[in-house]
Amino acid sequence: MKRREFVAALAVAPATGLAASAAGAAEATRVPAAAPPPAGPSSPRAAAPGDAALADLLVRMRCAPGGGWAAWLYSGTLVVRPEGQVARTVMRIEGFSFNRALARGPGVHDYALDEVGYYCDPATGRPLERWTNPFNGRETRVAHYRSPQQLRFDGASVSAVTALPPGTEFRGEITRFAEVGGLVAVSEDLYVRSPARAATEARPAAPERTFASLATHVSRAEDLARDPAEWLDCTLAYGTMNGFMASLGFDGAPGVQNMRLVGRKVRADALDAVPAWLMDRVRRDHPTFLDVPKG
């Protein structure tokens, strides 16, 4: 499922909207051996009694049993709101991902995800190549994405596997979000502040940005009561509260963009529900993406 633009701030993946090379993506999706979490703002808080069960529950809902790969299919919209103006839905989003988690100890899991997504015309549902910002009339090239990432789930906390750029703030939380009508919801929420970046010969300056990635996983309580070694059906509601990505053409203006998605977990070899046009586009843009297992 994505995720998602905040991965650029974590320095664990290319910036969302920039395709990774086949070799780089394969390397990024390998799950490394357990290592101490990085120091600084991204370090998880001390675990509380019962926290280990939260990470175990999230992994069970999000991933395949036994450290296998699962796929997520997702669809949704991109909503933008410049400061002081009324929000608009400006694009559709279509994509899918593969993920897995490897247990490293009680309540500790190394998590790997590789996803692709496309920003699409709301009317046709097909990928855009150029887009005119309805708020300021600026035309930009649309930046679709492939975004590998690695995280560690440790009890009720989430941390980045690799060291973060200086000045980056990161906090990740796992919560048992709600139980209603026979459903159980578990959330994984990530909050990031990326510092402003001065221009260099290799890249332009970038303003400070904030990111919030809010993922809510939902399964039936009766399914959760079964053997954890069995496949567990799960759906996803996902939203972001991010500053504008550069490809939207707001030129550093304040405001919020919300990637609003719904998704469903399926077996990694059961991708019949992926639209034919999306499979064709992925094969063209990212020939190695469909190679599972990864790494």
pLDDT of residue 237: 98
What are 276's two structure tokens?
């034919």
pLDDT of residue 133: 95
pLDDT of residue 120: 98
What gap in Å lies between CA 115 and CA 135, rounded to an integer? 29
What gap in Å lies between CA 12 and CA 84, rounded to an integer? 33
Task: Specify the residue for token string 């496949």.
Answer: 231
Q: What is the pLDDT along the chain (295 residues), one digit of tens a residue?
A: 345 555 444 433 333 322 222 223 233 333 333 333 343 443 334 444 457 899 999 999 999 999 999 999 999 999 999 999 999 999 999 999 999 999 999 999 999 999 999 999 999 999 999 999 999 999 999 999 999 999 999 999 999 988 888 899 999 999 999 999 999 999 999 999 988 888 888 877 777 888 999 999 999 999 999 999 999 999 999 999 998 988 899 988 899 999 999 999 999 999 999 999 999 999 999 999 999 877 5
What gap in Å lies between CA 15 and CA 219, rounded to an integer? 31
pLDDT of residue 33: 35
pTM across the whole model: 0.82
CA distances from 82 to 1, 175, 189, 257 (A): 26, 31, 23, 8
